[in-house]
Amino acid sequence: MNKKIIQKLILSAKKASQNSYSPYSNYKVGAALLTKSGKIFTGTNIENASFPAGMCAERVAIFKAISEGFKDFEALAIYAQGKHFPYPCGICRQVIAEFSTDLPIIIAKSVDKFTITNISDLLPFVFEFEKK
């Protein structure tokens, strides 16, 4: 993957993290999803006092893209500051896998500190059922 694209996605995810609503964890996460047509959708985590009602940054970005008619994804960047890389949670992994089993995922703490993986490595046994 092109280094300029990687940096652009990380910076877009970082910018999205600034809009995080995370008064409980104070863990601000941003995501930037690149579609095959070149459009970028961003998302940030949104917490709620009723914890299950919150939403992860990755799913916000994916759901925004889908709601706009985009389902072909090129790459996903996830950004958060902290000691550990911000890998997606199990629910986000399943949502990502619904749309791509080989999507490159950039996991970043900064523009210079990142790793690239894919959803097949993060979720090798995706839940599936036969569609009718």
pLDDT at 131: 73
User: Catalytic: 47?
Assistant: no
pLDDT tens for the chain, 132 residues: list them: 899 999 999 999 999 999 999 999 999 999 999 999 999 999 999 999 998 899 999 999 999 999 999 999 999 999 999 999 999 999 999 999 999 989 999 999 999 999 999 999 999 998 888 777
Give the pLDDT score at 65: 98
pLDDT at 51: 86
Name the pTM for this structure: 0.94
Catalytic: which of 58, 74, 98, 130?
A: 58
For the chain, domain boundaries: 3-121
Which among 1, 8, 25 has a CA at the least distance from the CA of 86? 25
CATH number assigned to the domain covering 3-121: 3.40.140.10
Q: Letter for the amino acid at 43?
A: G
